[in-house]
Amino acid sequence: MTLSAYFENLLARVEASEISNQGKDANGFFSPTRTLLLRHLQLLKDLHATPGARPMVKDAWKFVVEHLPPDWLVMPAELKSEMKKILA
- Quote the distance between the C-alpha of residue 85 and its chain's center: 16
pLDDT score, position 59: 94
Q: Write down the pLDDT at residue 1.
A: 82
Burial (CB < 10 A; 0-12, 13-18, 19+), residue 40, is buried
Give the pLDDT score at 45.
93
| Sequence ranges of the domains in the chain | 3-87
Segments of the chain with pLDDT less than 70: none
DSSP state of 28: S
